[in-house]
Amino acid sequence: MKKQILVVASVAIFIFSCGDIKESINKTTESSEKKIEEKKEKVRTKIEIKEFYAWVDKLNVRSVPGLKTKKQGAKFVDRLDEGEKVTFLGEKSSETYEVNLRGRTMNAPFYKVRTKKGKIGWIFAGALSTFPVNVEEYRVAIAFDERDEVYSDDFSYYYSEADRLLMPTGVDLIFVSDNFREVQIRNIKGDIIGVENISKYVKRHKAGIICVEKGKSPEFIDYSPDMGYDVIDYFGVGYCGGDI
């Protein structure tokens, strides 16, 4: 009888001990998980990014997040040059937007930022880089001819002559026939380093050349036998003369 009582008592003690051990393990686990989360939060706080850089040119800063245009009532408070730094103010839009930038489709929210001019507004986050941007300069002559086909022969000849003249100058001459709102400028590696909108010139003049230099306003040159020389004069690049 004594042995049975001892056995029952031992079992009871073991059960209670197991319960205490289990509770202790649970508490230890909860404590460990809490410490891990606290550490994660500290890390997140430490690495929270406050500064971003525009990796596309002419980046609009909007009064409210979204992709509405001026015609749709949108207001722009600033416009950034490529490489320009902004300060992130900690707010982002709840909605994300799909945008094509330099041949890449980006899906991202808008960030609330302060520009170097002190303007506060919203920027599409997909156009921002966490690292300083190496801005590549370029000089490009963009030719176009939207007239009736009957006039195209003379333009083709003038374009060929301009191309021959510009080849040794370092100024790229390209011909575009569509998508005038987003003419892509590429470097020697084929990377898109800029996007130019020449649609208003095409609509107004129908044919000619747009001279584009990084950071400057475009200049229109009417098509003529001398348009290659006109481009050289605009950019101030030397012409070696003679046959090329």
Assign 45 a pLDDT band (cuts: 50, 70, 90): very low
pLDDT tens digits along 137-180: 999 999 999 987 656 678 888 999 999 999 989 899 999 999 99
pLDDT tens digit string along 127-149?
A: 999 999 988 999 999 999 998 76
> What are the structural domains of the chain?
51-129 (2.30.30), 139-235 (3.40.30)
Write out 136-156 in H/E/C secondary structure: CCCEEEEEEECCCHHHHHHHH
Least confident of 23-37, 45-59, 119-133, 141-155: 23-37
What is the DSSP-derived secondary structure letter of residue 112? E
pTM confidence score? 0.65
